[in-house]
Chains A and B, each alone.
Chain A
Amino acid sequence: MTELHPLRVVLAKVGLDGHDRGIKIVARALRDAGMQVIYAGLWLTPEAVVRTVAEEDADWLGLSLLSGAHMTLVPRVLQLLREAGLEHVGVIVGGIIPENDIPKLLEMGVARVFGPGTPLPEIVSFLREHSGAGHA
């Protein structure tokens, strides 16, 4: 890839969790930073999220969880991504994640966990800095 192209980011909520304020604010911030944000919506199964990442040729997947089910759902998504041949897609997690769980998620392969109160530019610059060459 020679030309710069905008990052494609899928944002999704998995499981029974209707709190979508945070993910919508992140969607807006990434859009304003010039990224192509695919908002996949609420109440998705891990299978549906991975299918979306595949069809959209995403560079990143952002999962938002405020339900407390992250230690079940996030590893499931990571496993399905690997099975689908999508290990090159970076995964970030946002929402209510207890301090003790963060190292475990990182060890599983999550690139970064962003808790409440994260300044939006921090997410933008993280995605930019940790994306491969060729991205705008």
Chain B
Amino acid sequence: MLETLLERFRRHDRLALARLLSLVARGEQVEEILAGVGEPGSGAVSVPRGLARVVAVTGSGGVGKSTLIGKLIEPIRAQKQSVAVLACDPQSPLSGGALLGDRFRMPARPDDDGVFIRSLAAAGGYGALAEHLVDLIRLLEAFGFDVILIETVGAGQGDTVVRELVDVLVLLLQPETGDDLQWEKAGLLEVADVIVIHKADLPGAERVEAQVRATLALGTGSDVPVLRVSSRTGDGIPELWQTIAARPLRRRRQQSGRDLLRLAQQTLAARFAAAEAAGQSDLRQLLAAWQQGEISSAQAVSALVRFLANELET
């Protein structure tokens, strides 16, 4: 059942992607799925390499996150890049139900296979979702999307967790959003990589921009861009995408150590399974020698690692 799904995923079947996203979002069979999509040499899909640009859009409810994401799809597609959207909405702590109403603000592009939009219910704010978010991102990356846009549930505060999982965190503000002391509160401006004064066609946008810039100027060495954008008129949308696309890929910079090790482990495990299934004589002899105590565990490990490394090259 899962094997069939993974096979279809590797053949670029969007229904298989949709089903695997459901499983991972519920925390079911996550290890197996990630190992399955990450298996090297399987054709269209290779090891997830962290090549996608992952962008999170956050801000309080009603600030226009869905609408802006819908607008960003246009310049991304104009550059011939494919894009997946993960739109998160809160889940009721009482009933467990959720009304996921983000995608209807995004343009329907039924003929465009370069766009994939998925709604997610986030239980209790982030806790549970953030846990799976990294795996959902890996799944979309393995499918081959160039850009992954994540719409947060819209707290705007306490987004530090999400920041670590993405390359660029975009914070949306709008005119008439409290006084300038709001900006001094921890966890809002300081986590943003790009700040957008949204609904810039409304009066008061310049004032909010001035307040934000003044607050940022008090900090040290802040190079956070501040842009005025109106999704209604379209003003600032192309500039916003240019700005996002020019930001360094934080995730890949942080990925170097532990994530590379994890990918290596997955690759070696897959090679081991394949060699074992094929009844490789070198591997059998190595196992036998170790089981009979002819070589120490340390020696067996080095020999196994050498063996698997060679397997990779052939």
**Chain B contact residues: over half helix, strand or loop, or mixed?**
mixed
Interface residue A37 (Cβ < 8 Å from any Cβ of B):
yes
Interface residue B28 (Cβ < 8 Å from any Cβ of A):
yes
Bound form: Cα–Cα A56–B18 in Å: 6
Q: How many residues of A contact B (CB 8 A)?
A: 35
Decide: B14 and A55 in contact? CB cutoff 8 A. yes
| B contact residues around A44 at 8 Å (CB) | 108
Q: Mark A23-57, 1 if CB is under 8 A from B, else 0.
A: 00001101111111111111011011011101111
Bound form: Cα–Cα A8–B110 in Å: 20
The verdict on A36 contacting B110 (CB below 8 Å), with A6-B97, A52-B103 known, is: no
Decide: B19 and A57 in contact? CB cutoff 8 A. yes
The verdict on A31 contacting B28 (CB below 8 Å), with A45-B108, A56-B119 known, is: no
Bound form: Cα–Cα A48–B92 in Å: 28
The verdict on A38 contacting B119 (CB below 8 Å), with A52-B103, A54-B14, A57-B19 known, is: yes
| B contact residues around A16 at 8 Å (CB) | none
Decide: B22 and A40 in contact? CB cutoff 8 A. no
Which of B97, B103, B104 makes the CB contact (< 8 A) with A34?
B97
Interface residue A3 (Cβ < 8 Å from any Cβ of B):
yes
Interface residue B207 (Cβ < 8 Å from any Cβ of A):
no
| A contact residues around B150 at 8 Å (CB) | none
Bound form: Cα–Cα A32–B95 in Å: 6
Q: Mark B10-29, 1 if CB is under 8 A from A, else 0.
A: 00001100110110001010
Interface residue B118 (Cβ < 8 Å from any Cβ of A):
yes
Which of B22, B91, B108 makes the CB contact (< 8 A) with A51?
B108
Decide: A54 and B15 in contact? CB cutoff 8 A. yes
Which of A36, A42, A86 makes the CB contact (< 8 A) with B100?
A36
Bound form: Cα–Cα A27–B109 in Å: 23
| A contact residues around B109 at 8 Å (CB) | 51
Bound form: Cα–Cα A38–B89 in Å: 10
Nearest Cβ in chain B — how far from A61, in angstroms? 14
Interface residue A82 (Cβ < 8 Å from any Cβ of B):
no
| A contact residues around B118 at 8 Å (CB) | 55-56
Bound form: Cα–Cα A57–B120 in Å: 11
Find the residue from A6, A30, A36 having the highest chain B CB count within 10 A. A36
Interface residues of B (CB under 8 A from A): 14-15, 18-19, 21-22, 26, 28, 91-92, 95-101, 103-105, 108-111, 116-119, 121
Interface residues of A (CB under 8 A from B): 1, 3, 5-6, 8, 27-28, 30-42, 44-45, 47-48, 50-52, 54-57, 84-86, 136
- 29 CB contacts below 8 A, A to B, read A1-B28, A6-B98, A30-B97, A31-B97, A31-B98, A31-B99, A32-B95, A32-B97, A33-B97, A34-B92, A34-B95, A34-B97, A35-B97, A36-B119, A38-B100, A38-B101, A39-B101, A40-B104, A41-B104, A44-B108, A47-B110, A47-B111, A48-B110, A51-B108, A55-B117, A55-B118, A56-B118, A56-B119, A57-B15
Q: Can you name 6 extra interface pairs (CB under 8 A) apart from A31-B92, A54-B14, A57-B21? A: A3-B26, A27-B99, A51-B109, A55-B18, A57-B15, A57-B18
